[in-house]
Amino acid sequence: MSSHYTKDHEWIRLDGDVATIGISDYAQEQLGDVVYVELPEIGKQFEQGAEMAVVESVKAASEIFAPVAGEVVEVNAALDDEPGTVNESPEGDGWFLKLKLTNAADMSSLMDAEAYKAFVETI
């Protein structure tokens, strides 16, 4: 299952019509040590590009935006006790939430891993 990325450094992996979402390795490096993650409630709906979560680090707080429109079907409650998992495994165990897509066409606006890598090199 391949990941896609946004210019705001969120990643998304689609499994059927459910997308797992988190922040990229680049994003966690820029943030530094993550100390808190504020996740939305299950059932909440988001439009593509809407603020859906907040991640706080020792350096700053940063909004996490919805890469696609959808409804929250699961959140990673383990981050309440272990927010550092975002640093240790940003594109694995440090995922934030799962959205049930409401518009599959939203995926077409995202970058694949190769395009994202090229984008990060321009920053």
* CATH class of this structure's domain 3-103: mainly beta
Taking only the tens place, the pLDDT of each residue in 10-61 is 999 999 999 999 999 999 999 999 999 999 999 999 999 999 999 999 999 9
pLDDT(1) > 80: no
What pLDDT score does 17 carry? 95
The pTM of this model reads 0.96
9 backbone φψ class: left, alpha, beta (φ>0; ψ -120 to 50): left
CA torsion sign, 52 to 99 to 110 to 24? positive
pLDDT over threshold 90, residue 90: yes
Closest by alpha carbon to 91, among 117, 60, 63? Answer: 117
